[in-house]
Amino acid sequence: MPQAPAPLARFLGDLEALVAAAPTESALLAAGGDLLGALVAKDDWLPDAYAELDPSHYRQFLLYRDPPDGDRPSRFSVVSFVWGPGHASPVHDHTVWGLIGVLRGAEISQRYTLATNGAPVPVGEPDRLEAGAIEAVSPRVGDIHRVSNAYADRASISIHVYGADIGKVRRSIYRPDGERRLFISGYSNTDACPPFTLNMEDPA
Which CATH number do you get for residue 43? Answer: 2.60.120.10
Strands (E), 33-183: 59-65, 77-83, 98-104, 106-114, 120-122, 127-130, 134-137, 145-149, 156-162, 171-174, 180-183
**202: in domain:** no
3-class DSSP assignment, residue 51? coil
**60: in domain:** yes
**39: in domain:** yes
What's this model's pTM, rounded to 2 decimal places?
0.95
Is residue 46 within 8 Å of 157, Cβ to Cβ?
Answer: yes
Task: Tell me how far apart the alpha carbons of residues 96 and 185 are, in angstroms, rounded to a whole number.
Answer: 14
**198: in domain:** no
**196: in domain:** no
Domain tally, the chain: 1
Task: Tell me how far apart the alpha carbons of residues 167 and 106 are, in angstroms, rounded to a whole number.
Answer: 23
Is residue 120 within 8 Å of 182, Cβ to Cβ?
Answer: no
**66: in domain:** yes
**97: in domain:** yes
Q: Along the 204 residues of the chain, how does pLDDT read in single tens digits?
A: 899 999 999 999 999 999 999 999 999 999 999 999 999 999 999 999 999 999 999 999 999 999 998 999 999 999 999 999 999 999 999 999 999 999 999 999 999 999 999 999 999 999 999 999 999 999 999 999 999 999 999 999 999 999 999 999 999 999 999 999 999 999 999 999 999 998 755 444
Domain hosting 14: range is: 6-183
**95: in domain:** yes
